[in-house]
Structure 1
Amino acid sequence: MRLLPADLPERASLSLEVHARPSEPLAAPGRASYVAVLVDPDERDRELAHLGKLCRNHGQAAPEPGAVHWSGRIGGVQLKWERHGEFSSYTLLLAAGSVVPFADPAAAQLPPGWLASAPGMTLYAGHAELLQAEDAPSLPDLQQDFFAGCPVVGSAVGDGAGLAFSDFLIHPDGFGRLVLVDQGFTPLMAGRMLQRLFEIEAYRMMALLAFPVARRLSPRLLVIERALAGLTDNIASDAGGDEKLLHELTRLAAEVESGLSASQFRFGACRAYAELVRTRIAELRERRLSGLQSIDEFMSRRFTPAVATCATVSQRMHDLSERVAQASHLLSTRVDIAREHQNHALLASMDRRARLQLRLQQTVEGLSVAAIVYYMAGVAGYLAKGGRSLGAPLDVDLFVGLSVPVLALLAFHAVRKARGRARENEAA
């Protein structure tokens, strides 16, 4: 008998989300390679097909359609593929040391050309050497032999369970370099620590994709800010030409909104990836080594300012959008008030014209009454003459004179009645 209501359709997948993408264990000595590839959405299917072909060639089950991660053995190397929001990553682990540092890396164990032909563009690539504590060289030898004499950043990680070193540079082979010294790691701990170190670099690069956008936008924002300041001064001085000023403000608003729509996704992603970098660094649980910058300190001095620049440019764009909107609203209000004054003057002029037309109409009506009376008096005169000719004792002049007031009243009444009907029809 079922004890629970029906499951939420996403219950199982959401429950398993915290267990997704587990770290692969690696014991010292060992090697690892990591490649993060920026993949367009329309290349996702081709990416799965490319990975599926490799799996089938090595007797492995291909990932299911829509899969976001896969792990398995490819020859002598353990391959883990993960699909992230905008990029995909390939992690390769090899349980064997190398006599020559970073020679014969784990990525070289894949079939020739397979990794190079993977869909997308390389975002980050790195090799890692996992050394046993007794095999670890001194710091000067490590810097010279493993990092070609480049300045090294490093610290104790995992609360002292290991040491991590990197120069955060791209070497001639196109890969970065990491060295992890095992001072008490379990294989799973070492695998997790390598994954964090690789992800710090991948997320750092994803966050910094917004930096070139910020650099391109900064000069244009300065021009817009100066133009907006000039327009605001013109509004304050009330020098006229409000329609032209409103047109310029509309153009600036369109330019700012266009920049916002084109850049805000990248700036938002920068904030999210920068937070992931900080989270991964905190998970390292670093302890400072004498004479070396820690990874947290290095990122704080180099990476954080770039992220702050992106955040500043993003905020400037939002501020500009608000300032342009406020200036546009202010100028629109002033233009509306001016138009209201014009409309009031126009209505007053129309009222005056209507009164003049009314007076003219009344004058015309008076003339019309006079003309009607004149013609009707003429008709009355003809009637009187006709009656006299028939023998009626009528004085024509007297008859016409007496009929004029009566005819005037009748004509005036007829004109008023016609005007009243016209008004009723207009109202209807």
Structure 2
Amino acid sequence: MSLIHPPPEHQVETIFGAFNDHPLRQEVNDEVHARPHEALNTPVKVSHLGMLSGRRGGELDRQAVADLCRRYGVEPPQPGAQHLSADFGDFRLKWERRTELSTYTFFVEEDFDELFADPPLDRVPLDWLYSLPGPRLVGVHLTLEPAWAQPRSTSDIQHIFDDNPIVGSHITGGAARVWSDFRIQDDGFTRVLMRDVSLRNRQAGRAVQRILEIETYRMMALLAFPVARQLNPEINDLEEQLAWITEHMTQDENSSVSDEQGLLGRLTELAARIEGIGNNTNYRFHAAKAYNELVQRRIHELREQRVQGVQTIQEFMERRMVPAMRTCETVSERLESLSRRITRTGDLLRTRVDVALEAQNRDLLDSMNRRADMQFRLQETVEGLSVAAISYYLMGLISYVLKAGHDAGYLPRVEIYQGLLVPVVVLFIWAVIRIVRHRIARKQAK
């Protein structure tokens, strides 16, 4: 007999009501349950579109899906929703909004006579398709044959794909097979043929989803490849200009400050160009790396097994996609390396300019000190002459007074008084000039 008794019902409500939940708790929890895989019953045809509406196109994509829902009387996606899965009668639609694009996947489950005739997209209103935001980047028609369909040989399958080299394998532990040539056909769509061997409904949905995501993420990753090829010549030119600047820095040791300031100006222009290129391409290259990782992960999840004489999806991607991704990584690394080198060179050049300017300032100060010393000596010389001149003129005035005293009979000999007064006058004038000069110096110091 258990000794543990459950708490009363009102107590349970009180306990759970006492917690203050994080405002994002429900949203975070629901994220792991979002975007479930479709449950597919074979035979099924799938049309898949990837429209590159851009990083700010999410609201326009939702409005487009809501418009289609209104036409068919289906509940539209909620504001801020990133996905929708709904039955429209003639077809089923799975819409998913990703960072830069939206994917629209249409399903039709019914028997068919021809593999790629009458795709699900033909049942979607044409005017609505034309109104979808953004250009089409991905287009796939996928057919999933039932297990009871007549078996096909490798040559039959190759003929279905216009005798192009095909890629294929057993997937999902041998529960299905898949073939494609990964070429865009005349109708603008890539074709994929799958055959059910022993798939369960949800398993079929996961397998189809992985194949479609491989194609979607492959195209998104490869968007960076043309950018990388286009940047290569420009990066070569930037590296040559940086090498020229560095060479002139090392060879021209006696260059003037103006010359080095000119080099610094050219280096600043290079840095601005690199920053501009980086701002325009950093996101694309980092996104390519992330998309490529998703491609590799989806391929791993397929659990491929080789079909004799046919290249697997993993082998196809390694031979075709890996070199392109390495090119993108190399260009991205070259840009980052070039930016670092320009920064280091700029720091070195600025240091040289600062040192040269300090030397110029030091020479200028020395020259000013010498000039001030000369002016001081000249001032002392002029001061001595000034004392003599003022004393001479003052003695002339005093002589008039002495002569007047002599003529009046008060002073017997004028020459004696003149001789005695000369040193007194000179000392007096010298003292006055010294006092005036010291007062001026104190005012300037303040």
Rounded to whole Å, the distance in 2 between the matches of 1:394 and 1:154 is 142
Asked whether the 8 Å contact 2:207–2:302 carries over to 1, the reply is yes
**Cross-structure match for 1:131:** 145
Is the partner of 1:167 in helix, strand or coil?
strand
Rounded to whole Å, the distance in 2 between the matches of 1:244 and 1:15 is 59
**Cross-structure match for 1:23:** 37
Matches within 5 A, 1:171-190: 171-190=185-204
Rounded to whole Å, the distance in 2 between the matches of 1:265 and 1:343 is 46
Matches within 5 A, 1:107-256: 107-135=121-149, 136-145=151-160, 147-238=161-252, 240=255, 241-256=259-274
Is the partner of 1:150 in helix, strand or coil?
coil
1:327 aligns with 2:345: yes
Identity of aligned residues (%): 44
Q: Cα RMSD over matched residues?
A: 1.7
Q: Which moved more, 1:34-43 or 1:295-304?
A: 34-43
**Residue deviations 1:33-77, cap 9 Å, x none?**
110100035554333222212111211111122221111111221
Q: TM-score, normalising length from structure 2?
A: 0.91
Deviation at 1:421, TM superposition (A): 0.9
**Cross-structure match for 1:315:** 333
Letter of the aligned partner of 1:131 in structure 2?
E
State the 4+ residue runs in structure 1 displaced beyond 3 angstroms: 2-5, 40-46, 386-391
Is the partner of 2:45 in helix, strand or coil?
strand
Deviation at 1:113, TM superposition (A): 3.2
Letter of the aligned partner of 2:155 in structure 1?
P
Letter of the aligned partner of 1:244 in structure 2?
G
Asked whether the 8 Å contact 2:402–2:411 carries over to 1, the reply is no
Rounded to whole Å, the distance in 1 between the matches of 2:29 and 2:287 is 26
**Cross-structure match for 1:416:** 434
Deviation at 1:234, TM superposition (A): 1.9
Rounded to whole Å, the distance in 1 between the matches of 2:52 and 2:252 is 53
Number of residue pairs the alignment of both structures matches: 427
Letter of the aligned partner of 1:370 in structure 2?
A
Rounded to whole Å, the distance in 2 between the matches of 1:345 and 1:163 is 84
**Residue deviations 1:279-324, cap 9 Å, x none?**
1111112122221111111111101110110110011111111122
Rounded to whole Å, the distance in 1 between the matches of 2:74 and 2:127 is 19
Rounded to whole Å, the distance in 1 between the matches of 2:283 and 2:305 is 36
Asked whether the 8 Å contact 2:55–2:101 carries over to 1, the reply is no
Deviation at 1:375, TM superposition (A): 2.3
Is the partner of 1:172 in helix, strand or coil?
coil
Rounded to whole Å, the distance in 2 between the matches of 1:2 and 1:425 is 83
Letter of the aligned partner of 1:392 in structure 2?
Y
1:66 aligns with 2:80: yes
Asked whether the 8 Å contact 1:208–1:306 carries over to 2, the reply is yes
Rounded to whole Å, the distance in 2 between the matches of 1:266 and 1:50 is 26
Is the partner of 2:182 in helix, strand or coil?
coil
Asked whether the 8 Å contact 2:83–2:95 carries over to 1, the reply is yes
**Cross-structure match for 1:388:** 406
**Residue deviations 1:69-107, cap 9 Å, x none?**
111111221101111000000011111132111111122
Asked whether the 8 Å contact 1:75–1:109 carries over to 2, the reply is no
> Is there any run of 5+ residues in structure 1 with no aligned partner, and where?
none
Deviation at 1:200, TM superposition (A): 0.8
**Residue deviations 1:384-423, cap 9 Å, x none?**
2333344423532211211111121221111111111111
Letter of the aligned partner of 1:90 in structure 2?
Y
Q: Which moved more, 1:157-166 or 1:239-248?
A: 239-248
Rounded to whole Å, the distance in 1 between the matches of 2:19 and 2:441 is 75
Asked whether the 8 Å contact 1:31–1:97 carries over to 2, the reply is no
Matches within 5 A, 1:351-390: 351-390=369-408
Among candidates 84, 89, 92, match of residue 98 of structure 2: 84
**Residue deviations 1:323-349, cap 9 Å, x none?**
222222222222222222222222211
Among candidates 282, 291, 294, match of residue 300 of structure 2: 282
> Is there any run of 5+ residues in structure 2 with no aligned partner, and where?
1-13
Rounded to whole Å, the distance in 1 between the matches of 2:265 and 2:59 is 47
